[in-house]
Amino acid sequence: MNKYKPIASGITAGSFLLLFYFITMTYLAGSFETTLIQFKKLWFYMIPLSLGFGVQIGLYVSLKNLTDSSGKLAAANSAVSTVGMIACCAHHLTDILPLIGLSFLTFFIIQYQVLILIIAIISNILSIIYLLGLRQKLISA
């Protein structure tokens, strides 16, 4: 077992989540400058979200090395983090939502962006606690 694989996996996963944010935001906003401005406003949500995601993936890889578990837990945790990141930049969809008849989503996305990010961070923390508990049980057994 490579003892650095969980660390490398976590760093890679967290980095890819941030990369996903920057690519999505740049595409939706139409400019990298707008992406940087948005990131500067929300970095204190985005960094913990990415770090939490990376820690979860690192713990998952560690658990997988200890057992033969499926990827369902990591997939669920990944979905929560990804939704949080999308919520951060999805408000730029509000530029086109009224044109496609979905103006009711505009209000929701803008109003609850920070709340969605906070919920995603809390979910990350709870998932990390759970995964740490599982890891400890496996090591102690």
pTM over 0.75: no
59: amino acid identity, one letter: L
Residue 114 near residue 45 (C-beta atoms within 8 A): yes
The rounded distance, in Å, linking the Cα atoms of 32 and 107 is 24
- Average pLDDT (117-135) is 85
Spatial CA neighbour of 80 closest among 107, 57, 106: 57
Residue 98 makes CB contacts below 8 A (sequence gap 6+) with: 106
Residue 128 vs residue 141, higher pLDDT: 128
Q: Domain spans of the chain?
A: 5-140
> What pLDDT, in 10s, does the model give residues 48-93?
989 988 998 888 888 888 776 555 555 555 555 555 445 444 444 4
The mean predicted confidence, pLDDT, of the chain is 76
